[in-house]
Structure 1
Amino acid sequence: MTIKKSIPGAIALLLILSLLAACGSGSNSNTSGNAEGKGDKPAKETTLTFWHHYSTASPEEKTLTEQLIPQFEAANPGIKVKAVAYPWDQLHKKLQIGSSSSEMPDVARLDIIWVPEFQKQGLLVALDEKFADFDETAKELLEGPLSTGKIGDHYYGLPLNTNTKVMFWNESMLKASGLDKAPETADEFFTAIAGVKAQSDRAWGFGEPALQGWNILPWIWSNGGDVLSPAMDTAQGYLNSSATIEILTKLRAAIQAGQIAGFKPGDVPVTEGHAQGSYAMMAEGPWAFAQFESQFPDFKAAAASFPKGSAGSVQVLGGEDLGIFSKDKQEESWKFVKFLTSEAAQVSMGKVGQIPVNLKAMENSEIKSIAYFAPFLEQLKTSKARPPVAAWPQIDTVINDTMSAIFMTDRDIQGELDKAADQIDALLK
């Protein structure tokens, strides 16, 4: 009797539970499937825009788009990444323009020297303030590159990679000039490029693709000069010092003698020209090895330290930081940033020439077996960062314009540097 009386109630209860379960399934099944990786379509899909300056179709860009982004998306259902490539200078301009037009990426690969500029404009998220696991993430990265994202008391960028340049030398071209190794000093360098030119009117001793700080500062620093004072508040007495004038005088003489080329419109592209016998030497980063391997597999590249001046062999410290610009997708952006700095992602990019900043990646057997990293790791010991001032992009333009005037005309070097120092001081105020 008792059992019979409970049947209608049990049936009603089962019906109610079934309805509740159906409702629950409708609202939560996508999220549950997401978390368990069952492949269910997420309730909401988020698309992150990632702006970068990897060269289109380069090994780095292909690794990013064909390997890393698909891996990230597979591990994070519901998040898609739209990667957009720009040349280095165009990316900088795009970010500057975007800040006034509200067309900004969620995440961007920033030259380390851009971080102060965009932080000053209030465009970058303070990572250590926003994300609770910042310290845990940061401790897995090299301390030096990590410091490039710190402005004041907070971090506005996470390092993606570090780099510097070394001297590449074409063994057959130098041997034809009587040399069996790369020049170790600046004096040997100028002697070597003169010897190369003497052997062929169609060859140059050194290829230099541009005249910005990235290209010119190593020569100035190695000769004991500088651009700004240690306090970074003036260029007077530094950019226009006797040490700077001395090395620029030598470089101009070599350019006018046809021993250095590469930066003028119509010149043979430097990296390609180095592999094909146009330039005996060039100063370039580790990505050049990947380019040689993919485009010129028969060329045997050789690298050595940058020639020593009176102040030693001082190259420019390079690298990129990841910055978050997003206002409404910050958590998703942070996931992507952490992924790109993870051991696995860093190893993948390391294989195509990007020096890792992840400590575990640096110890990875595949990375340690990359022999051509050795000269860069040695050069990094004496590399120097460009001044971390917000006005650096504008200062860099002044440097480029000044060097163009000096190297492509007969104008007085002292006078051009004096004018440049005045312009830079105005930018620093």
Structure 2
Amino acid sequence: MLKKRNILPLVLLSLILVLSACSSGSNGGGTSSSQGKTVTLTFWHHYSTASPEEKILTEELIPKFEAENPEIKVKAIAFPWDELHKKLQIGGSGGDMPDIARLDIIWVPEFQKRDLLEPLDQFTEFDQIASGLLEGPLSTGKVGDHYYGLPLNTNTKVLFWNKDMLNQSGIEQAPETTDQFLDALAKLKTKYAKSWGFGEPALQGWNVLPWIWSNGGDILSPDYTTAEGYFNGPESVDIITKLKAAYKGDQLAGFKPGDVPVTEGHAGGSYAMMAEGPWAVAQFQSQFPDFTAQMTSFPKGSAGSIQVLGGEDLGIFSKDKKEESWKFVQFMVSESAQVAMGKIGQIPVNLAAMDHAEIKAIDYYAPFLEQLKTSKARPTVEAWPQIDGVLSDTMSSIFMTDSDVKAELDAAVIKIDNLLKQ
């Protein structure tokens, strides 16, 4: 008969074995994924619904990421560009935020200032990942001493020109300089009275800054502390005065309500020239297959051919799923993901992807890659969206009234400097 004093050790031994079995498989990390649970990440983006980019994201890239990381699921939600910006602004106040978002590069300083973005250089793999990305686009995610975004894709604009319209106007090749461009506008108007030499869809920084930069001007000082002497400087006044004269001469259009849409108008002969990105080529191929686009570098001014750097960055908003979010960010900037997106018009930022045979075979990328060498990012200041609004309003007033260019720019400088001080 078993004595009572032997029962307790046996019970304790059984309990230890049970607990040991229950705890097997845990790595002690304390994260939900380490305990066999699935982590769901929310990814907000502004790829157009049903676009090739959104299709690749949802049908190819996310399934591949989830297969490689079975403990992580990704819920992608699409918004229009402006709606995404507003939703992130509102969510930042109310706490309803995604784990990761595709951000326009000009949004990064805004959300960093509100302490919503995680610094990405806190992750041990950051330096290795960053070293494999284009330097220019990488710089758009840096605010102060830290990086709060990694470039997802990049772009810039080049000059599109209608060879037949220019040749019929006595112009043998695309204008290489600003003076040649302005001269071409006058000749085109003489030949094509009902068309315009140049189409410009808006008057924001994206549209106006390349002219100012190429002419040696700027909107802000190098340290981003003032607009005085820059936006109203002689170089800026000079080029804006010349563009206003071209507008008054009915030589450029496209930004007023009711104007012919620029890309469609270029294909249809309404605008002999325009400055656009690689997405225009995709639009021509799908909507105007009989139109052959001609592209060259943006006209050079005294400072060279300087276009605006565009693109999107990936930012992490998550506070409790940072490691899982970082895994997804790394995946999206990897060579394979970048090649997949690159094949449908998103210029890669991954150096290995740019050298990939399938990407190098896309011939229309060549002029954009050349222009990227001298493209420049808009100022990385929190107040840029508001400054951009002042710029746009000022340009509209200059073009559509008889006001003095210098006086309008002087007034704008006061508004911009006040925004910088807030």
TM-score (norm 2): 0.88
What secondary structure, in the 3-state scheme, does the structure 2 residue paired with 1:266 have?
coil
1:367-399 superposed Cα distances (whole Å, 9 cap, x missing partner): 112221211122122222212222212111111
Give the aligned partner of residue 107 of structure 1: 100
Could you tell me how far 1:27 is from its partner in structure 2?
9.1
Could you tell me how far 1:78 is from its partner in structure 2?
4.4
1:184-204 superposed Cα distances (whole Å, 9 cap, x missing partner): 111211222223233334422
What secondary structure, in the 3-state scheme, does the structure 1 residue paired with 2:111 have?
helix
Give the aligned partner of residue 66 of structure 2: 73
Structure 1 residues 224-235: aligned runs within 5 Å = 224-235=216-227
Could you tell me how far 1:329 is from its partner in structure 2?
2.3
Given candidates 156, 162, 167, the residue that maps to 1:170 is 162
What secondary structure, in the 3-state scheme, does the structure 1 residue paired with 2:312 have?
strand
Q: Report the Cα distance in structure 2 between the residues aligned to 1:56 and 1:266, rounded to whole angstroms.
A: 26
Q: Report the Cα distance in structure 2 between the residues aligned to 1:391 and 1:138, rounded to whole angstroms.
A: 27
Q: Report the Cα distance in structure 2 between the residues aligned to 1:132 and 1:298, rounded to whole angstroms.
A: 51
Do 2:143 and 2:380's aligned partners in 1 also have CA atoms closer than 8 Å? no
Q: Report the Cα distance in structure 1 between the residues aligned to 2:290 and 2:62, rounded to whole angstroms.
A: 31
Could you tell me how far 1:418 is from its partner in structure 2?
0.8
Give the aligned partner of residue 146 of structure 2: 154
How many residues are paired up? 401
Structure 1 residues 41-52: aligned runs within 5 Å = 44-52=37-45
**In the alignment, structure 1 residue 84 sits paired with structure 2 residue 88:** no
Could you tell me how far 1:24 is from its partner in structure 2?
5.9
Given candidates 282, 287, 290, the residue that maps to 1:290 is 282
What secondary structure, in the 3-state scheme, does the structure 2 residue paired with 1:167 have?
strand
Do 1:112 and 1:149's aligned partners in 2 also have CA atoms closer than 8 Å? yes
Given candidates 219, 230, 234, the residue that maps to 2:211 is 219
Amino acid at match of 1:368: K
Q: Report the Cα distance in structure 1 between the residues aligned to 2:150 and 2:55, rounded to whole angstroms.
A: 22
Give the aligned partner of residue 313 of structure 2: 321
Given candidates 188, 196, 200, the residue that maps to 2:180 is 188
Could you tell me how far 1:336 is from its partner in structure 2?
1.4
Could you tell me how far 1:257 is from its partner in structure 2?
2.3
Give the aligned partner of residue 9 of structure 1: none
What secondary structure, in the 3-state scheme, does the structure 2 residue paired with 1:282 have?
strand
**In the alignment, structure 1 residue 399 sits paired with structure 2 residue 391:** yes
Do 1:58 and 1:291's aligned partners in 2 also have CA atoms closer than 8 Å? no
Q: Report the Cα distance in structure 1 between the residues aligned to 2:164 and 2:266, rounded to whole angstroms.
A: 11
Change over 3 Å in CA distance of 1:101–1:199 after alignment to 2: farther
What secondary structure, in the 3-state scheme, does the structure 2 residue paired with 1:179 have?
coil
Give the aligned partner of residue 340 of structure 2: 348
Structure 2: gaps (5+ residues): 1-13, 27-32
What secondary structure, in the 3-state scheme, does the structure 1 residue paired with 2:395 have?
helix
Do 1:304 and 1:375's aligned partners in 2 also have CA atoms closer than 8 Å? yes
Given candidates 116, 119, 126, the residue that maps to 2:109 is 116
What secondary structure, in the 3-state scheme, does the structure 1 residue paired with 2:43 have?
strand
What secondary structure, in the 3-state scheme, does the structure 1 residue paired with 2:364 have?
helix
Q: Report the Cα distance in structure 2 between the residues aligned to 1:379 and 1:386, rounded to whole angstroms.
A: 16
Structure 1: gaps (5+ residues): 1-15, 29-34, 36-41
Q: Report the Cα distance in structure 1 between the residues aligned to 2:74 and 2:236, rounded to whole angstroms.
A: 45
Give the aligned partner of residue 202 of structure 2: 210
Q: Report the Cα distance in structure 1 between the residues aligned to 2:147 and 2:351, rounded to whole angstroms.
A: 19
Do 1:226 and 1:238's aligned partners in 2 also have CA atoms closer than 8 Å? yes
Amino acid at match of 2:348: P
What secondary structure, in the 3-state scheme, does the structure 2 residue paired with 1:382 have?
coil
Give the aligned partner of residue 11 of structure 1: none
What secondary structure, in the 3-state scheme, does the structure 2 residue paired with 1:81 have?
strand
What secondary structure, in the 3-state scheme, does the structure 1 residue paired with 2:83 have?
helix
Could you tell me how far 1:283 is from its partner in structure 2?
0.7
Could you tell me how far 1:421 is from its partner in structure 2?
0.1
Change over 3 Å in CA distance of 1:299–1:70 after alignment to 2: farther
Give the aligned partner of residue 39 of structure 1: none
Q: Report the Cα distance in structure 1 between the residues aligned to 2:371 and 2:299, rounded to whole angstroms.
A: 11
What secondary structure, in the 3-state scheme, does the structure 2 residue paired with 1:104 have?
coil
1:247-282 superposed Cα distances (whole Å, 9 cap, x missing partner): 111111222222211111122221222222222111
Q: Report the Cα distance in structure 2 between the residues aligned to 1:203 and 1:87, rounded to whole angstroms.
A: 32
What secondary structure, in the 3-state scheme, does the structure 2 residue paired with 1:411 have?
coil
Could you tell me how far 1:139 is from its partner in structure 2?
2.4
What secondary structure, in the 3-state scheme, does the structure 2 residue paired with 1:371 have?
coil
Could you tell me how far 1:65 is from its partner in structure 2?
2.8
Q: Report the Cα distance in structure 1 between the residues aligned to 2:67 and 2:283, rounded to whole angstroms.
A: 29
1:315-370 superposed Cα distances (whole Å, 9 cap, x missing partner): 11222211011122222211211111010010111112222111211211111122
Q: Report the Cα distance in structure 1 between the residues aligned to 2:159 and 2:201, rounded to whole angstroms.
A: 14
Change over 3 Å in CA distance of 1:180–1:62 after alignment to 2: farther
Q: Report the Cα distance in structure 1 between the residues aligned to 2:165 and 2:49, rounded to whole angstroms.
A: 30
Amino acid at match of 1:116: P
Q: Report the Cα distance in structure 1 between the residues aligned to 2:315 and 2:257, rounded to whole angstroms.
A: 33
Could you tell me how far 1:215 is from its partner in structure 2?
0.6
Give the aligned partner of residue 126 of structure 1: 119
Change over 3 Å in CA distance of 1:58–1:196 after alignment to 2: farther
TM-score (norm 1): 0.86
Change over 3 Å in CA distance of 1:127–1:210 after alignment to 2: same
1:197-227 superposed Cα distances (whole Å, 9 cap, x missing partner): 3333442211111111111000111111111
Farther off after superposition, 113-122 or 287-296: 287-296
Could you tell me how far 1:53 is from its partner in structure 2?
2.6
Farther off after superposition, 208-217 or 91-100: 91-100
Q: Report the Cα distance in structure 2 between the residues aligned to 1:351 and 1:234, rounded to whole angstroms.
A: 41
Q: Report the Cα distance in structure 2 between the residues aligned to 1:315 and 1:139, rounded to whole angstroms.
A: 24
